[in-house]
């Protein structure tokens, strides 16, 4: 086979992601050995400034911003990758879970481009994309993987036996981890998004100042509950009978509360993930999703993991929402013949068992 022919046959996939408040497009190509994904471009237009004044993502505002941004972001991703549309071998887009109106924008744009350019199309699950990000960043990591996906909308542990297989083994019964960070950021008056701001405030605080609860469901369960930690922080900062939105008590040390809250979250997330890794006897443990950008979490997982497991943590750009993970997984799906019909609809519901 000549090098020219190989270059044409290699997957070069455009991925589109609009499940929440980032409008993202990326071009990913596979190397000749078929094992490694090369990210030729990954463009992420964040809307966080738009949502900041509301203290959270406003779905209607998110949809309008996606509509305005999607085509320029796609154009930028192709230009940055130096890939003409004739060189693409397929298009992938997130179909769910997420905000249904936001999902519809990226999914419709991708379907329209696939139709107009006569390219195969595949619909990718956003959470599966976060899990696949681990494979993209660490192509040599041995399967099965136990992956904690912790983001603003989801917190769950999966066992992944191959790039295309995923089984849910535990999930939050109430808030997502990122949601708890965002709510505590708001209680402490740090603004939105709370996660990175709580982490920043925690740097000057004492993680042992307060023993916030580490709720669990006993041995054998890999489920999470974060509402107890969040309520404990609320009562600590505002008193038990304070009105909603009341002021912080004057003696509250924001840095100590942030550090103690973060320590409790990290303990629970790491303990449950390592327990799953031990129970399923996997060689690889990983974290992904926006909360995986947290330095204390990354450091604690790497430090507390037994030497028998390899800890794989994607770089920040692959942990937070991005379209490279969608393009990479999309290329795998197309390789496996998992092309989707253009009639496929957005589906906001999370993975309940396995894919
Ligand atoms: O995966 P992601 O970018 O979007 C969703 O799919 O939700 O995750 C966003 C979430 C937000 O709740 C944000 O506060 C949290 O990830 N996050 C963090 C950090 N950076 C982002 N949480 C804790 N520490 C961080 N450094
Ligand atoms: Zn996400």
pLDDT for 304: 97
- The answer to whether the CB of 193 is under 6 A from ligand 1 is yes
98 touches ligand 1 (CB under 6 Å): no
For residue 34, what pLDDT band results from cuts at 50, 70 and 90?
Answer: low
Looking at the CA of residue 177, tell me the nearest atom of ligand 1.
Answer: 12
Q: Verify whether ligand 1 is closer than 6 Å to residue 190 (CB atom).
A: no
pLDDT at res. 348: 86
| Distance in Å, CA 337 to ligand 2 centroid | 25
pLDDT, position 2? 41
Q: Which two tokens stand for residue 154?
A: 């989801």
* Neighbouring residues of 284: CB distance < 8 A, sequence distance ≥ 6: 134, 138, 141, 142, 143, 144, 145, 146, 309, 310, 312
pTM (2 d.p.): 0.92
Q: Give the integer Cα–Cα distance in Å for 315 and 171.
A: 23
CA proximity to 35, closest of 14, 10, 17: 10
Mean pLDDT of 252-274: 97
- Rounded Cα distance, 46 and 152, in Å: 14
136 close to ligand 1 (CB < 6 Angstrom): no
Judged against a pLDDT cut of 50, whether residue 7 lies above it is answered with: no
User: What was the pLDDT predicted at 215?
Assistant: 84
To test ligand 1's pocket by mutation, which of 128, 192, 195 has the most ligand atoms within 8 angstroms of CB?
195
Average confidence (pLDDT) over 158-172? 96
129 in contact with ligand 1, CB cutoff 6 A: no
Cβ–ligand 1 distance for 321 under 6 Å, the answer: yes
Distance, in Å, from the CA atom of 133 to the CA atom of 158, rounded to the nearest integer, reads: 13
246: CA distance to ligand 2 center in Å? 31
**Above 70 in pLDDT, residue 6?**
no
Q: Is 181 in the pocket of ligand 1 (CB under 6 A)?
A: yes
Cα(74)–Cα(278) distance, rounded to whole angstroms? Answer: 42
Domains of the chain in sequence order: 12-131+319-335 (3.30.420.40), 143-313 (3.30.420.40)
Q: What is the mean pLDDT of the chain?
A: 92
């Amino acid at each position: 086979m000549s090098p020219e022919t190989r270059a044409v046959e290699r997957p070069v996939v455009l991925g589109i992601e609009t499940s929440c408040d980032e409008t993202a497009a990326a071009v990913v190509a596979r190397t000749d050995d078929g094992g490694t994904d090369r990210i030729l471009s990954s463009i992420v237009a964040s809307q966080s400034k738009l949502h900041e004044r509301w203290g959270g993502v406003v779905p209607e505002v998110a949809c309008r911003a996606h509509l305005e941004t999607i085509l320029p972001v796609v154009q930028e991703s192709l230009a940055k990758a130096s890939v003409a549309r004739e060189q693409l071998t397929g298009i992938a887009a997130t179909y769910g879970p997420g905000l249904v109106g936001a999902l519809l924008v990226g999914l419709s744009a991708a379907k329209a481009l696939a139709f107009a350019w006569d390219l195969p199309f595949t619909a990718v699950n956003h959470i599966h994309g976060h899990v696949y990000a681990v494979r993209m960043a660490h192509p040599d990591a041995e399967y099965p993987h136990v992956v904690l996906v912790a983001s603003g909308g989801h917190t769950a542990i999966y066992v992944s036996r191959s790039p295309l297989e995923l089984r849910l083994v535990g999930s939050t019964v109430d808030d997502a981890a990122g949601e708890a960070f965002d709510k505590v950021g708001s209680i402490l008056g740090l603004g939105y998004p709370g996660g990175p701001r709580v982490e920043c405030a925690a740097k000057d605080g004492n993680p042992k100042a307060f023993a916030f609860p580490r709720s669990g469901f006993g041995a054998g369960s890999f489920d999470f509950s974060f509402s107890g930690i969040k309520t404990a922080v609320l009562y600590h900062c505002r008193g038990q009978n304070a009105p909603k939105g009341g002021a912080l008590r004057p003696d509250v040390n924001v840095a100590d509360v942030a550090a103690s809250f973060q320590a409790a979250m990290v303990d629970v997330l790491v303990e449950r993930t390592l327990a799953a890794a031990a129970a399923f006897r996997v060689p690889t443990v990983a974290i992904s999703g926006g909360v995986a950008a947290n330095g204390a979490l990354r450091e604690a997982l790497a430090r507390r993991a037994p030497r028998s497991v390899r800890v794989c943590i994607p770089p920040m750009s692959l942990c937070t929402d991005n379209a490279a993970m969608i393009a990479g997984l999309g290329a795998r799906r197309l390789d496996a013949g998992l092309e989707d019909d253009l009639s496929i609809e957005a589906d906001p519901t999370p993975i309940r068992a396995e894919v």
